[in-house]
Amino acid sequence: MKLGGENGKLILTLFRMVAVIFGFFFLARMTRKNYTKGAIICGSMILAGALGNLIDSIFYGMIFTESTFHIAKLVPFGQGYGSLFHGKVVDMLYFPIINTTLPNWIPIWGGKHFLFFEPVFNVADMAISTGILVLFFFQKKLLHKQLLQQNS
């Protein structure tokens, strides 16, 4: 996190910690209240992603070298690029499917470099996003089914 510098990174890590603690309590509550398996799986995906990001941000800077556009190397604890609670979130996937220069006949973008599927995907963020999207699109089936069964 560049915005906020070192203090911003610490605040983000502490926020992640609070979110993970809340997530464990909320998931336990969902289980006790007999939410559907789908809702519990989605909640578990969200919690697992948040926990993965938290672990990265707490410890990664202590045990690995800097990994900007190359593979990080494991080092003895405390000899990494950062301090405790100031690590960067890792586990990125990069899939550049098309890497080319566009033909000159294409208006505006002709002759310019084109990279399709440039974004780098984080496994933990994909778990969080998938859990949230499934809950959003299937909320009537996943979240309200138990309420209907309890009322009848």
Instruction: Please give the positions annotated as active site.
Output: 91, 125
DSSP tag of 89: P
Cα-flanking dihedrals φ and ψ of residue 97, to 5°?
-75, -45
Residue 85, burial from CB neighbour count under 10 angstroms (0-12, 13-18, 19+):
buried
Give the β-pairing of 113-116 and 120-122: unpaired
The amino acid present at 25, given as its one-letter code, is: F
* Partner residues linked to 94 by β-bridges: 120
Helix (H/G/I), strand (E/B), else coil: 98: strand
